[in-house]
Amino acid sequence: MLVGGGVGIVSSTDYCFATKFASVKLSELAIGIGPFVVGPSVKRKIGISAFSSLTINATKWFDAEWAREKGLYIEVFDTTEEMDKEVGKLASILSSSNPEAMKELKKIIWKGTDDWNSLLIKRAEISGKLVLSNFSKNAIETFKNKK
């Protein structure tokens, strides 16, 4: 299961494998903040409609098949062993690929992200401000007390 920053990390990959157990959730809104820092990469990867679903329905777990359909995962496997086998196959193929071609391909894949250094700082400022609000402090305390 991936939540918050884990979804952000996965959305920052070019090609992601997962098992059927890798459900996703962006729960930030439930504690009074939003997925502002991970938002740009998640939105870029799965589109605005799926991103809206994840952010607005902040308490729902979306299953791995949903994440695959939206483009977050490329392939979903029943077991870790099956996934590891396919990871090995792809790694073998990529290791014999032309590094210059991969470099140029990555430029195309990541086009439009040149402003992210400043964007992510601005988004972190929003999160920092909101997490210090009374609403968020109370929501976090309620969450901690549920354990």
Domain locations along the chain: 2-78+98-145
HSE (CB half, 13 Å, CA atoms) of 53?
12
pLDDT at 1: 81
Tell me the pLDDT band of 143, cut-offs 50, 70 and 90.
Answer: confident
Place of tokens 């299961």: 1
Closest CA to 48 of 76, 20, 23, 71: 71
Stretch 54-64: mean pLDDT, rounded? 95
CATH class of 2-78+98-145: alpha beta
Longest pairwise C-alpha distance within the chain: 54
Task: Supply 36's token pair.
Answer: 């502002």
Q: How far apart are CA 130 and CA 26, in angstroms?
A: 16
Helix/strand/coil for 35:
coil
pTM of the model: 0.86
Confidence bin at 15 (pLDDT 50/70/90): very high
pLDDT single digits (tens) 64-111: 999 999 999 999 999 999 999 999 999 999 999 999 999 999 999 999
Residue 113 neighbours by CB distance under 10 Å:
13
Looking at residue 36, what DSSP letter applies? T
